[in-house]
């Protein structure tokens, strides 16, 4: 799936943000029959499945509010498939990178770690 505009800028900013925190980006926009994972990264020995949500100033809801229970179920199925395909045998978690574009056009990033489990 191609990403354009603000969503693309948000995902690029999220990658840079995670790299600065010492994460290693393993994959971006991973897709399988169950869904898509925006970013897959490693934080030390932990595999991190990240959902990136970007919103403009004036959006009615916070970016992280769009990670609904239905979206979480799709992410879990996709992550389990990824784990099976890669045979990764270590800890993993689900994070949300919530990004808001402020009135000056700058992106404000909030990293929410381990927001849900499977």
More confident residue, 29 or 66: 29
| Residue 3 pLDDT class (50, 70, 90 cuts) | low
The answer for residues whose C-beta is within 8 angstroms of residue 18's C-beta and 6 or more apart is 25, 39, 41, 50, 97, 111
> What is the DSSP pairing of strand 92-101 with strand 46-56?
parallel
Q: Rounded CA gap, 108 and 102, in Å? A: 7
Residues 72-114: tens digit of each pLDDT: 999 999 999 999 999 999 999 999 999 988 888 888 999 999 9
* Statement: residue 57 has pLDDT above 80: no
Specify the 3-state DSSP secondary structure of 61: coil
Q: Enter the pTM of the model.
A: 0.89
Residues 6-48: tens digit of each pLDDT: 778 899 999 999 999 999 999 999 999 999 999 999 999 999 9
The answer for residues whose C-beta is within 8 angstroms of residue 25's C-beta and 6 or more apart is 15, 18, 19, 39, 40, 41
| Residue 59 pLDDT class (50, 70, 90 cuts) | low
What are the domain boundaries of the chain? 5-116
CATH of 5-116, one of 3.40.50.720, 3.40.190.10, 3.40.50.2300, 3.40.1350.10: 3.40.1350.10
Confidence at residue 9, expressed as pLDDT on a 0 to 100 scale: 87
């Amino acid at each position: 799936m191609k990403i354009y505009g603000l969503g693309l800028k948000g995902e690029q900013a999220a990658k840079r943000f995670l790299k600065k925190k010492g994460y290693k980006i393993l994959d971006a926009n991973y897709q399988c029959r169950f869904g898509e994972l925006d970013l897959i990264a490693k934080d030390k020995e932990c595999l991190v499945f990240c959902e990136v949500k970007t919103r403009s100033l004036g959006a009615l809801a916070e970016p992280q509010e769009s990670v609904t229970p239905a979206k979480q179920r799709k992410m879990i199925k996709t992550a389990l498939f990824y784990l099976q395909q890669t045979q990764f045998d270590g800890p993993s978690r689900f994070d949300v990178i919530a990004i808001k574009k402020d009135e000056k056009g700058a992106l404000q990033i909030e990293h929410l770690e381990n927001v849900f489990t499977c």
